[in-house]
């Protein structure tokens, strides 16, 4: 779908979808590249400013919260896909759900790792 058509659909409050795998792949690649170009340097500069382990904690907690929101969205989509009989889509969304849960588990462990071992032991 060309950009003008997408824009017009947006003005009408309607959504659009790609009609081929190639279009979807190309658009997704462009959007991810654009996002990466903007955000990578910003994240890298911010991360280099962090001091001790505690300084990492707020960002890790914020990312867990963001991922939890994404998890809820994926669960809602999975349920809707299942109800509509879109089995392959529902299965893919189930895999995405599992991956988000695993990522949240790792980020939670990383957040806990910001607390020095001596502190962890004194509260155990």
Token pair belonging to 110: 């990383």
Q: What is the pLDDT of residue 27?
A: 86
17 and 66 assigned to the same domain: no
Q: Which residues of 56-71 are buried (b: 16+ CB within 10 A; e: fewer)?
A: bbebbeebbeebeeeb
68 and 111 assigned to the same domain: yes
38 and 67 assigned to the same domain: no
75 and 121 assigned to the same domain: yes
For residue range 32-60, list pLDDT tens digits in order: 898 888 899 999 999 999 999 999 999 99
Q: What is the pLDDT of residue 36?
A: 87
**pTM of the predicted model as reported, rounded to 2 decimal places:** 0.78
108 and 60 assigned to the same domain: yes
Confidence tier at 20 by pLDDT (50, 70, 90) = confident
Domain housing 35: 1-49
37 and 73 assigned to the same domain: no
CB 100 within 8 A of CB 71: yes
Structural domains in the chain (count): 2
63 and 122 assigned to the same domain: yes
Half-sphere exposure of 94 (CA within 13 A, CB side): 9
65 and 114 assigned to the same domain: yes
7 and 38 assigned to the same domain: yes
């Amino acid at each position: 779908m060309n950009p003008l058509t997408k824009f017009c659909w947006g003005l009408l409050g309607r959504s659009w979808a790609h009609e081929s795998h190639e279009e979807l792949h190309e658009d997704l690649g462009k959007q991810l590249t654009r996002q990466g170009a903007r955000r990578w340097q910003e994240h890298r500069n911010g991360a280099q400013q962090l001091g001790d382990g505690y300084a990492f904690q707020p960002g890790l907690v914020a990312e867990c919260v963001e991922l939890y929101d994404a998890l809820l969205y994926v669960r809602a989509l999975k349920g809707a896909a299942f109800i509509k009989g879109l089995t392959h889509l529902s299965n893919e969304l189930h895999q995405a759900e599992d991956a988000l849960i695993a990522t949240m588990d790792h980020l939670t462990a990383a957040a806990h790792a910001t607390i020095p071992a001596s502190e962890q032991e004194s509260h155990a």
